[in-house]
Protein backbone atom coordinates (compact mmCIF):
# COMPACT_ATOMS: atom_id res chain seq x y z
CA UNK A 1 0.00 0.00 0.00
CA UNK A 2 1.26 3.49 -0.89
CA UNK A 3 -0.25 6.92 -0.56
CA UNK A 4 -1.56 6.37 -4.06
CA UNK A 5 -3.26 3.10 -3.20
CA UNK A 6 -2.39 -0.51 -3.95
CA UNK A 7 -1.22 -1.81 -7.34
CA UNK A 8 -3.19 -4.77 -8.70
CA UNK A 9 -0.12 -6.34 -10.33
CA UNK A 10 3.66 -6.28 -10.38
CA UNK A 11 5.88 -3.23 -10.75
CA UNK A 12 7.46 -3.52 -14.20
CA UNK A 13 10.12 -0.97 -13.23
CA UNK A 14 11.80 -3.60 -11.05
CA UNK A 15 13.11 -5.16 -14.26
CA UNK A 16 14.68 -1.88 -15.42
CA UNK A 17 16.71 -1.02 -12.35
CA UNK A 18 20.27 -1.64 -13.59
CA UNK A 19 22.08 -2.16 -16.90
CA UNK A 20 22.70 -5.80 -15.96
CA UNK A 21 19.00 -6.32 -15.20
CA UNK A 22 17.90 -4.72 -18.46
CA UNK A 23 20.41 -6.81 -20.38
CA UNK A 24 19.26 -10.01 -18.71
CA UNK A 25 15.58 -9.53 -19.55
CA UNK A 26 16.04 -8.06 -23.03
CA UNK A 27 13.65 -9.68 -25.51
CA UNK A 28 15.58 -8.65 -28.63
CA UNK A 29 19.34 -8.99 -29.01
CA UNK A 30 21.38 -7.64 -31.88
CA UNK A 31 24.42 -9.62 -32.94
CA UNK A 32 27.10 -8.86 -35.56
CA UNK A 33 25.98 -11.95 -37.47
CA UNK A 34 22.60 -10.29 -38.08
CA UNK A 35 24.24 -7.65 -40.27
CA UNK A 36 25.01 -7.42 -43.99
CA UNK A 37 27.11 -4.62 -45.51
CA UNK A 38 25.95 -3.07 -48.80
CA UNK A 39 29.00 -1.87 -50.77
CA UNK A 40 29.53 0.02 -54.01
CA UNK A 41 32.40 -0.55 -56.42
CA UNK A 42 33.02 1.91 -59.24
CA UNK A 43 34.73 1.29 -62.52
CA UNK A 44 37.70 3.42 -63.54
CA UNK A 45 38.65 5.15 -60.28
CA UNK A 46 42.00 4.99 -58.51
CA UNK A 47 40.81 6.32 -55.14
CA UNK A 48 37.53 5.79 -53.27
CA UNK A 49 34.92 8.47 -53.95
CA UNK A 50 32.92 9.83 -51.01
CA UNK A 51 29.13 9.84 -51.36
CA UNK A 52 28.12 13.32 -50.25
CA UNK A 53 24.69 12.39 -48.92
CA UNK A 54 26.01 9.37 -46.99
CA UNK A 55 28.92 10.44 -44.77
CA UNK A 56 31.37 7.58 -44.28
CA UNK A 57 30.16 5.62 -47.32
CA UNK A 58 32.22 5.41 -50.51
CA UNK A 59 32.28 4.15 -54.05
CA UNK A 60 35.16 1.69 -53.72
CA UNK A 61 38.03 0.76 -55.94
CA UNK A 62 38.66 -2.96 -56.23
CA UNK A 63 41.48 -2.66 -53.69
CA UNK A 64 39.45 -0.75 -51.11
CA UNK A 65 36.52 -3.12 -51.66
CA UNK A 66 38.78 -6.01 -50.78
CA UNK A 67 39.79 -4.18 -47.62
CA UNK A 68 36.15 -3.45 -46.72
CA UNK A 69 35.26 -7.12 -47.15
CA UNK A 70 38.14 -8.19 -44.92
CA UNK A 71 37.07 -5.66 -42.28
CA UNK A 72 33.53 -7.04 -42.40
CA UNK A 73 34.85 -10.53 -41.73
CA UNK A 74 36.97 -9.26 -38.84
CA UNK A 75 33.95 -7.47 -37.33
CA UNK A 76 31.80 -10.62 -37.46
CA UNK A 77 29.40 -9.35 -40.13
CA UNK A 78 27.72 -12.18 -42.04
CA UNK A 79 27.47 -10.85 -45.56
CA UNK A 80 28.27 -8.20 -48.13
CA UNK A 81 25.91 -7.07 -50.91
CA UNK A 82 27.75 -5.71 -53.94
CA UNK A 83 26.52 -3.00 -56.31
CA UNK A 84 28.49 -2.24 -59.46
CA UNK A 85 28.88 1.30 -60.79
CA UNK A 86 30.03 1.21 -64.44
CA UNK A 87 31.63 4.08 -66.31
CA UNK A 88 29.02 6.21 -68.07
CA UNK A 89 30.33 5.21 -71.46
CA UNK A 90 29.62 1.56 -70.63
CA UNK A 91 25.92 2.14 -70.00
CA UNK A 92 23.41 1.35 -72.73
CA UNK A 93 19.71 0.69 -73.18
CA UNK A 94 20.04 -3.04 -72.45
CA UNK A 95 22.46 -2.75 -69.54
CA UNK A 96 24.94 -5.06 -71.24
CA UNK A 97 27.71 -4.27 -68.73
CA UNK A 98 25.57 -6.11 -66.19
CA UNK A 99 25.98 -9.37 -68.07
CA UNK A 100 29.54 -8.87 -69.30
CA UNK A 101 31.78 -11.40 -67.49
CA UNK A 102 34.35 -8.61 -67.34
CA UNK A 103 31.87 -5.97 -66.17
CA UNK A 104 32.65 -4.16 -62.93
CA UNK A 105 30.23 -6.15 -60.76
CA UNK A 106 31.50 -9.52 -61.95
CA UNK A 107 35.12 -8.41 -61.52
CA UNK A 108 34.27 -7.24 -58.01
CA UNK A 109 32.60 -10.54 -57.13
CA UNK A 110 35.70 -12.44 -58.15
CA UNK A 111 37.94 -10.06 -56.19
CA UNK A 112 35.90 -10.34 -52.99
CA UNK A 113 35.68 -14.12 -53.19
CA UNK A 114 39.44 -14.23 -53.73
CA UNK A 115 39.88 -12.04 -50.65
CA UNK A 116 37.48 -13.68 -48.18
CA UNK A 117 36.51 -17.03 -49.69
CA UNK A 118 33.55 -18.45 -47.80
CA UNK A 119 34.21 -16.43 -44.61
CA UNK A 120 31.64 -13.88 -45.79
CA UNK A 121 28.40 -14.53 -47.66
CA UNK A 122 29.00 -12.69 -50.93
CA UNK A 123 25.79 -11.32 -52.41
CA UNK A 124 25.19 -9.49 -55.66
CA UNK A 125 22.49 -7.03 -56.64
CA UNK A 126 20.71 -8.53 -59.62
CA UNK A 127 19.21 -5.56 -61.41
CA UNK A 128 19.83 -3.52 -64.54
CA UNK A 129 19.35 0.00 -63.18
CA UNK A 130 23.04 0.68 -62.53
CA UNK A 131 23.91 -0.42 -66.07
CA UNK A 132 21.20 1.18 -68.25
CA UNK A 133 21.53 4.63 -69.74
CA UNK A 134 17.88 5.33 -68.86
CA UNK A 135 18.31 4.15 -65.26
CA UNK A 136 15.36 1.78 -65.15
CA UNK A 137 15.52 -1.72 -63.71
CA UNK A 138 14.70 -3.36 -67.03
CA UNK A 139 14.69 -2.96 -70.77
CA UNK A 140 12.18 -0.62 -72.36
CA UNK A 141 9.58 -1.33 -75.02
CA UNK A 142 8.82 0.89 -78.02
CA UNK A 143 6.61 3.11 -75.85
CA UNK A 144 9.34 3.62 -73.24
CA UNK A 145 7.74 1.34 -70.65
CA UNK A 146 9.65 -1.33 -68.75
CA UNK A 147 9.04 -4.61 -70.56
CA UNK A 148 8.58 -7.21 -67.82
CA UNK A 149 9.18 -10.40 -69.82
CA UNK A 150 12.04 -9.06 -71.92
CA UNK A 151 13.66 -7.94 -68.68
CA UNK A 152 13.34 -11.44 -67.24
CA UNK A 153 15.51 -12.76 -70.06
CA UNK A 154 18.22 -10.28 -69.08
CA UNK A 155 17.88 -11.24 -65.40
CA UNK A 156 18.37 -14.91 -66.23
CA UNK A 157 21.64 -14.09 -67.95
CA UNK A 158 22.71 -11.82 -65.10
CA UNK A 159 22.09 -14.58 -62.57
CA UNK A 160 24.25 -17.03 -64.47
CA UNK A 161 27.10 -14.56 -64.94
CA UNK A 162 27.02 -13.51 -61.27
CA UNK A 163 27.00 -17.13 -60.14
CA UNK A 164 29.99 -17.88 -62.37
CA UNK A 165 31.78 -14.86 -60.86
CA UNK A 166 31.40 -16.24 -57.35
CA UNK A 167 28.15 -14.94 -55.82
CA UNK A 168 26.84 -17.12 -53.00
CA UNK A 169 23.52 -15.25 -53.18
CA UNK A 170 21.81 -13.23 -55.91
CA UNK A 171 19.36 -10.51 -54.95
CA UNK A 172 16.88 -9.69 -57.71
CA UNK A 173 15.72 -6.19 -56.81
CA UNK A 174 13.84 -5.09 -59.93
CA UNK A 175 10.34 -6.16 -58.83
CA UNK A 176 9.54 -7.82 -62.15
CA UNK A 177 6.69 -10.34 -62.07
CA UNK A 178 8.04 -13.89 -62.19
CA UNK A 179 11.67 -12.93 -61.58
CA UNK A 180 12.41 -15.42 -58.80
CA UNK A 181 11.14 -18.48 -60.67
CA UNK A 182 12.91 -17.62 -63.89
CA UNK A 183 16.20 -16.92 -62.07
CA UNK A 184 15.91 -20.22 -60.20
CA UNK A 185 15.45 -22.06 -63.47
CA UNK A 186 18.40 -20.22 -65.02
CA UNK A 187 20.71 -21.08 -62.13
CA UNK A 188 19.61 -24.69 -61.99
CA UNK A 189 20.04 -24.91 -65.73
CA UNK A 190 23.79 -24.35 -65.44
CA UNK A 191 24.16 -26.63 -62.44
CA UNK A 192 24.23 -23.84 -59.84
CA UNK A 193 21.63 -25.21 -57.48
CA UNK A 194 23.95 -24.08 -54.67
CA UNK A 195 23.40 -20.37 -55.33
CA UNK A 196 20.65 -18.88 -53.15
CA UNK A 197 18.06 -16.26 -54.07
CA UNK A 198 17.31 -13.38 -51.71
CA UNK A 199 14.01 -12.09 -53.06
CA UNK A 200 13.28 -8.40 -52.78
CA UNK A 201 9.73 -9.38 -51.97
CA UNK A 202 8.31 -6.05 -50.82
CA UNK A 203 10.29 -3.21 -52.36
CA UNK A 204 8.39 0.03 -52.10
CA UNK A 205 8.59 3.10 -54.31
CA UNK A 206 10.13 5.28 -51.63
CA UNK A 207 11.37 8.85 -51.24
CA UNK A 208 14.17 7.48 -49.07
CA UNK A 209 16.20 6.12 -52.01
CA UNK A 210 17.59 9.55 -52.89
CA UNK A 211 21.17 9.14 -51.65
CA UNK A 212 21.41 5.69 -53.24
CA UNK A 213 20.91 7.28 -56.65
CA UNK A 214 24.13 9.22 -56.10
CA UNK A 215 25.88 6.10 -54.81
CA UNK A 216 25.22 4.14 -58.01
CA UNK A 217 25.50 7.07 -60.40
CA UNK A 218 21.89 6.58 -61.46
CA UNK A 219 20.76 7.78 -64.88
CA UNK A 220 17.09 7.40 -63.98
CA UNK A 221 14.58 9.15 -66.22
CA UNK A 222 11.09 9.24 -64.72
CA UNK A 223 10.19 7.02 -61.78
CA UNK A 224 9.69 3.37 -60.88
CA UNK A 225 6.11 3.47 -59.69
CA UNK A 226 4.89 0.97 -62.29
CA UNK A 227 7.00 -1.83 -60.83
CA UNK A 228 7.92 -0.95 -57.24
CA UNK A 229 5.13 -1.21 -54.67
CA UNK A 230 2.82 1.64 -53.74
CA UNK A 231 3.53 2.85 -50.15
CA UNK A 232 -0.22 2.90 -49.54
CA UNK A 233 -0.56 -0.86 -49.92
CA UNK A 234 -0.05 -3.62 -47.36
CA UNK A 235 -1.94 -6.70 -48.60
CA UNK A 236 -0.10 -6.45 -51.89
CA UNK A 237 3.15 -7.30 -50.10
CA UNK A 238 1.66 -10.57 -48.87
CA UNK A 239 0.63 -11.44 -52.41
CA UNK A 240 4.19 -10.78 -53.57
CA UNK A 241 5.44 -12.93 -50.70
CA UNK A 242 3.27 -15.89 -51.69
CA UNK A 243 4.45 -15.65 -55.28
CA UNK A 244 8.15 -15.45 -54.36
CA UNK A 245 7.90 -18.45 -52.06
CA UNK A 246 6.05 -20.47 -54.70
CA UNK A 247 8.79 -19.60 -57.21
CA UNK A 248 11.55 -20.86 -54.93
CA UNK A 249 12.89 -17.89 -52.95
CA UNK A 250 15.37 -19.02 -50.29
CA UNK A 251 15.12 -15.76 -48.34
CA UNK A 252 12.78 -12.78 -48.55
CA UNK A 253 13.27 -9.09 -47.88
CA UNK A 254 11.39 -5.89 -47.11
CA UNK A 255 12.86 -2.60 -48.39
CA UNK A 256 12.96 0.06 -46.97
CA UNK A 257 13.04 -1.14 -43.39
CA UNK A 258 12.17 1.71 -41.00
CA UNK A 259 9.06 3.15 -42.68
CA UNK A 260 7.70 -0.37 -43.31
CA UNK A 261 8.10 -2.16 -39.98
CA UNK A 262 4.43 -3.14 -40.13
CA UNK A 263 5.03 -4.88 -43.45
CA UNK A 264 8.16 -6.54 -42.08
CA UNK A 265 6.22 -7.90 -39.11
CA UNK A 266 3.50 -9.34 -41.37
CA UNK A 267 6.05 -10.96 -43.66
CA UNK A 268 7.98 -12.44 -40.73
CA UNK A 269 4.82 -13.93 -39.24
CA UNK A 270 3.89 -15.64 -42.48
CA UNK A 271 7.05 -17.49 -43.56
CA UNK A 272 9.40 -20.28 -42.58
CA UNK A 273 12.36 -18.90 -44.55
CA UNK A 274 14.86 -16.29 -43.34
CA UNK A 275 13.63 -12.70 -43.47
CA UNK A 276 15.82 -9.69 -44.28
CA UNK A 277 15.22 -5.95 -44.20
CA UNK A 278 17.23 -3.21 -45.90
CA UNK A 279 17.90 -0.05 -43.91
CA UNK A 280 18.31 2.15 -46.94
CA UNK A 281 20.35 5.21 -47.82
CA UNK A 282 17.77 7.80 -46.78
CA UNK A 283 17.35 6.19 -43.37
CA UNK A 284 21.12 6.30 -42.93
CA UNK A 285 21.40 9.88 -44.18
CA UNK A 286 18.71 11.21 -41.84
CA UNK A 287 20.43 9.87 -38.74
CA UNK A 288 23.83 11.09 -39.87
CA UNK A 289 22.50 14.57 -40.70
CA UNK A 290 20.63 14.95 -37.42
CA UNK A 291 23.61 13.68 -35.45
CA UNK A 292 25.96 16.08 -37.24
CA UNK A 293 23.77 18.95 -36.04
CA UNK A 294 23.78 17.59 -32.49
CA UNK A 295 20.05 16.91 -32.51
CA UNK A 296 20.31 13.21 -31.64
CA UNK A 297 22.82 10.84 -30.05
CA UNK A 298 24.29 9.09 -33.08
CA UNK A 299 25.39 5.73 -31.62
CA UNK A 300 22.20 5.27 -29.66
CA UNK A 301 20.13 6.14 -32.71
CA UNK A 302 22.00 3.56 -34.80
CA UNK A 303 21.46 0.73 -32.34
CA UNK A 304 17.87 1.76 -31.66
CA UNK A 305 16.91 1.71 -35.33
CA UNK A 306 18.60 -1.65 -35.85
CA UNK A 307 16.96 -3.09 -32.74
CA UNK A 308 13.55 -1.93 -33.98
CA UNK A 309 14.11 -3.66 -37.31
CA UNK A 310 15.11 -6.90 -35.64
CA UNK A 311 12.24 -6.67 -33.13
CA UNK A 312 9.82 -6.38 -36.06
CA UNK A 313 11.04 -9.74 -37.36
CA UNK A 314 14.17 -9.35 -39.47
CA UNK A 315 16.82 -12.03 -39.00
CA UNK A 316 19.18 -10.22 -41.36
CA UNK A 317 19.63 -6.47 -41.71
CA UNK A 318 21.34 -4.77 -44.62
CA UNK A 319 22.78 -1.54 -43.25
CA UNK A 320 25.58 0.83 -44.16
CA UNK A 321 26.53 0.82 -40.48
CA UNK A 322 27.10 -2.94 -40.52
CA UNK A 323 30.80 -2.96 -39.65
CA UNK A 324 30.60 -0.05 -37.21
CA UNK A 325 27.53 -1.48 -35.49
CA UNK A 326 29.12 -4.93 -35.29
CA UNK A 327 32.13 -3.43 -33.55
CA UNK A 328 29.89 -1.56 -31.12
CA UNK A 329 28.01 -4.76 -30.34
CA UNK A 330 31.20 -6.69 -29.72
Question: What positions carry a catalytic annotation?
Answer: 203, 255
Calpha distance 163→149 (Å, rounded) = 21
245-265 burial, b at 16+ Cβ within 10 Å, e below that, comes to bebebbbbbbbbbbebbebbb
Provide the 3-class DSSP secondary structure of residue 22: helix
Calpha distance 289→283 (Å, rounded) = 10
3-state DSSP helix/strand/coil % of the chain, to nearest 5: 45, 20, 40
Calpha distance 300→287 (Å, rounded) = 10
| Inter-residue contact 175 to 204 (CB < 8 Å) | no
List CB contacts of 114: < 8 A, sequence separation 6 or more. Answer: 66
CB atoms within 10 A of CB 207: 10
Amino acid sequence: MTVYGSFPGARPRRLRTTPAMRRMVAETRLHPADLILPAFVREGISEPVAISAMPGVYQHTLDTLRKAAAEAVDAGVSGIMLFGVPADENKDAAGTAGTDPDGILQVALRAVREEVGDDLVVMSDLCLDEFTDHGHCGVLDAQGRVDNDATLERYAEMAQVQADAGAHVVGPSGMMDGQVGLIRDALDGIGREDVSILAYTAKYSSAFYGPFREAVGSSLQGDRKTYQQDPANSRESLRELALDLAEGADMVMVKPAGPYLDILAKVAEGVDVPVAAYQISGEYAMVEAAAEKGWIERDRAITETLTGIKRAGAQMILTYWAVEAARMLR
